Chains A and B, each alone.
Chain A
């Protein structure tokens, strides 16, 4: 393998042309794509929310379905960002050679990566916001304070899109993504307070979960939906933004080695 180029990502406005390319593709299939993004989390939300919720008293001071709804916003944003940055980006990079075509124009790899990153975060945000809209319509959102969840959803998208792009940079084939989902994404859904409060877990597991990005997303978004100011806002934001930035940098370094040697 070749050498690593550790220089920080440097991108131009051409990144927007890459973003617009993905947006144009999405626009052609917007309705089925949005329904697809909504269907899975909604099935879980109603299935578990009503089925399991009927057996439970209040969870963390609210009905179980309301508790689960706020977690689902975070979980689906994570899932949508991960799917886009893994499967879709890999298709464009490796299978269709779309990135190669773009880089023959005056667009640098860093621009392509930035466009992909912002696109995956935007698409994930749409997914998170769609769920937020549905649960708001169902009365699970307490106050306009919930609007502050919107930027947090986008930052969550940036964080998981960047992590996904690292995996894509290393992937020999689609099969590789199964490891990431089973070893990283699925545990996170269970450990970070999407389905149940993380303080139900043994202390050791809790201290591991504290390091996982989804924990911080949930810690910010859930209170906002229940009309409460989150605690340690800056710390949670710092972790999410910090992971997003560092992960994107690593993804760029790895992809440079993969494509520019």
Chain B
């Protein structure tokens, strides 16, 4: 047996502009076989465009992409034969039943009906849709549709799964079920590339994360390393009417870094003892003391401004 150790996806100096606006700006990325890699970024960071370039659905302005060992976009069609894709918005075929969706999708991979039909029950089992073979797509809940889309992406038994915001719009129960399934796929040795803006999703699933903003990868590494390397260990959140004034006048003596957002001051500190002692004497200010997390890193690197 030949074990394929080459990276399923290598991206070098990827650039892509739309109407003069640079959407992807010199992105470098190399997936490790068997890992779950998360691209984390605010809306408009260039995540979806990056994925579209990697799949050969849009031509980059410059840079190199190797998907499944093949150059993209030149040989994208062949490369996609060993990839499974879960798009951001469900595009299941509403004219078909659940089982027909899988059958017809398998045909796009050049599989014969005789190859696909025996796989359908297993895929539906995996998607938690056993017994729904003949259900109409319109009768499925949002979570069921997502799971069927995931099952559909597995019809060709792909090596690499690419998921664009796989749990956006799902309730917590449905999200947990998707996460559990993705972990199962990882344990089977599949490689996963996903985009998300949910920190808990990134932290739970991904061995490595890249935080993306304005078309660039700001940082890349395992979630814990990102927290350790990019931000102070402790956060004290200070709320109340006087919080912003207090932050500018006094907090700098106790905190390495302070961010004010509305009525809240976020104090980032290596050691919170002195700050908490000081705040003990200010009963008008409410406080929350917690360890720094991925969201703090994300907000530090991408800013607190709204992206719409």
CB of B55 within 8 A of CB of A101, answer no
**What range describes how many residues of A lie at the interface?**
20 to 34
Question: Given that A17-B108, A97-B91, A104-B87 are contacting pairs, would A24 and B96 also be in contact in the complex, using a CB cutoff of 8 Å?
Answer: yes
* In the assembled complex, B105 has its CB within 8 A of some CB on chain A: yes
Indicate whether A104 sits within 8 Å of B55 (C-beta atoms), given known contacts A25-B95, A96-B93, A98-B93: yes
Which of chain A's residues have a CB closer than 8 A to the CB of B104? Answer: 17, 20-21, 24
**Quick one: closest A residue to B103, CB to CB?**
A24
Cβ distance B63 to chain A, nearest Cβ, rounded Å: 16
Interface mask (A73-98 → B, CB under 8 Å = 1, otherwise 0): 00000000000000000000000111
A100 to B89, CA, bound (A): 10
Chain B contact residue count (CB 8 A cutoff): 30
Cβ contact within 8 Å between A108 and B77:
yes
Please judge, given known A-B contacts A96-B91, A101-B92, whether A14 and B110 are in contact too, CB under 8 Å.
yes
* Interfacial chain A residues near B108, Cβ < 8 Å: 14, 17-18, 102, 105-107
The answer to whether A101 and B93 touch across the interface, beta carbons within 8 angstroms, is yes
Q: Is B176 an interface residue (CB 8 A)?
A: no
Q: Are B77 and A107 in contact (CB under 8 A)?
A: yes
Contact call B87/A260, Cβ cutoff below 8 A: no
Closest to A111 in B: B77
Once the chains are docked, how many angstroms separate the CA of A9 from the CA of B95? 28
Residues of B within 8 A of A (CB): 18, 55, 57-59, 76-81, 83, 85, 87, 89, 91-96, 100, 104-105, 107-110, 153, 156
26 contacts between A and B (CB under 8 A): A2-B18, A12-B77, A17-B110, A18-B108, A98-B91, A98-B93, A100-B91, A101-B91, A101-B93, A101-B105, A103-B57, A104-B57, A104-B83, A104-B85, A104-B153, A105-B105, A105-B108, A105-B156, A106-B77, A106-B79, A107-B77, A107-B108, A108-B77, A260-B57, A260-B58, A260-B59
